Structure 1
Amino acid sequence: MPRVVPAVNRALDVLELFLDRPQLSAREVMERLDLPRTTVHELLVTLEARAYLISVPGQPVQYRLGMPLFQLGAAFAGRLDLVREAQSVARDVGAACNEAVHVAVLDGPDVIYLVKVDSTHPVRMVSAVGRRLPAHCTAVGKILLADLDPAALDAVLAKGTLPGMTPDSITDPERLRAHLECVRAEGIAVDIGESDSAMRCVGAAIRDHSGAVVAGMSVSAPIIRWTPQAQVEWTELVREGAATLSTRMGHRARSH
């Protein structure tokens, strides 16, 4: 096995401290990493010499991230491909539950499906990549609507009565607002026969490096397989799948 270089590891440990703090002093780095003063001094001097850290004069001197890190991050972000990454994660989720998995984005009042992994069951959801559906009728759409700021949501609901796809679709804007509050609080959306009376879906949000919701992932199954136990399992699967895809898109969950 190739040898891991301890000095490089420590330098990366130093840089990762700044994910949670905009500025740190040498003493704070030393305390957080439990490293000797001399080692921390050498690491900071080296990183500053390469402009990966910038010193901010003061008592004590503080350090902040430098421009090369932004350039590396921008290069990484520019190479990310949501569809490619989503296909990979959706396949894993689909293999775990053997139900349909979708990844979709919001386009005005609708969702557009970017990725679909199908079930192998003979009875399964009829859908397709590129299909457009009213967002408020789908789990993946509701998780995306729940993240909109008030002005953006107002624009979506400005036309008044919403189109319904089944008798269970939410067509009243105020009822939808209340429903989205629950979705926002739980971090999960459910479609109980709102887009297809014979289907049930559960969806979770996908975030990018900035924390913004950029897409949603859902697991969909016919009502005949949608048992209470299955719903619990698939909810956890879609949470984990969305979190994995978010990580691949550069999102870093905040520590509490």
Structure 2
Amino acid sequence: MNLEKKNPTVKSADRVLDIFELFAEVMELNLNEISRRLDLPTSSVFKILQNLISRGYLEKDESRKTFRLGYKVFEIGAKYVQNTNLTTEFGQIAQHIVNEINEAVYLSIRNDNKILYIAEKQSTQLVRLVSHLGMQLPLHSTAMGKMILSGLNDKEIADLYPESQLGVLTEQTIDSLENLMAHIKEIRQENIAYSRGEAIQGIQCAAAPIYNSEKKIVAAMSISIPSTRWNEQIWSRMKELVIEGAYKLSLINYYQQS
């Protein structure tokens, strides 16, 4: 066996893994920083980065000339997480909710300033949302995102939004940090979050938190309903079911980690 011919391939794989491990520690870096931290020539690092960008494993911020993990990493992570006990238990709990009120149920985790949908159970209604699985939306625009934000302290939230004006998806999206913080205050008091057409026009959601064994919010669960089917009775039942479902998932998560 000619080991010399195999060494370059092994080295390239090691360098790719080194880059991934580096981004697990530092969220965003430029080319020179990556080269210096890994003690590699910038020319070699540049070629690897370009390959990773082309495959979606890294993203580049052209304005700052920095790199960060791309959607493909989280897509793979989401597919992997689907096989864990949490998402398995979610499927059973969500199916019970769909059986009772026949509206869509979702599970998400945080990815920087976005939520990543990792599991869902769709309704059988003729009018329903398309699949959200693997989709990412801004935290401040969704019920689950605002619920996850409520688990951070005020400084951590402010650091996520250095600009006072926030990006909007619809006319109802929260558009300022001041308004967002007011919503977060209410969510912390009520332990439930809402979205009324803030991410998708005409869709209303109620979300509840999922805790880990350290009592930190690590995920969120929501039920969504089109405004055309909304009424006070079903909205009240949605809130009860999402709180109950998230509580059950929190208990499962707690005992799995204990």
* TM-score bucket of the superposed structures, by smaller chain: 0.5 to 0.7
Shift of residue 162, structure 1, vs aligned partner: 1.1
Report which stretch shifted further, 138-147 or 88-97: 88-97
| 2:148 is aligned with 1:144 | yes
- Asked which structure has the greater CA Rg, the reply is 1
Q: Which runs of 5+ in 2 are unaligned?
A: 1-82
Per-residue CA shift, 1:37-91, capped at 9, x if unaligned?
xxxxxxxxxxxxxxxxxxxxxxxxxxxxxxxxxxxxxxxxxx9632222222222
Q: How does 1:1-256 map to 2 (within 5 A)?
A: 81-250=85-254
- Judge conservation of contact 2:104–2:123 (CA < 8 Å) in 1: yes
Q: Which residue identity is paired with 2:226?
A: P
Q: Which residue identity is paired with 2:193?
A: A
Q: Which runs of 5+ in 1 are unaligned?
A: 1-78, 252-256
- Judge conservation of contact 1:201–1:221 (CA < 8 Å) in 2: yes
**Greater fraction of residues in helix:** 2
Number of aligned positions between the proteins: 174
TM-score when scaled to structure 2? Answer: 0.64
- Judge conservation of contact 1:198–1:222 (CA < 8 Å) in 2: yes
- Judge conservation of contact 2:164–2:178 (CA < 8 Å) in 1: no
Query: Alignment identity in percent?
Result: 33
Q: Which residue identity is paired with 2:184?
A: L
Q: Which contiguous aligned blocks of 4+ residues in structure 1 show a shift greater than 3 angstroms?
A: none
SS at match of 1:168: coil
RMSD (Å) for aligned C-alpha atoms: 1.8
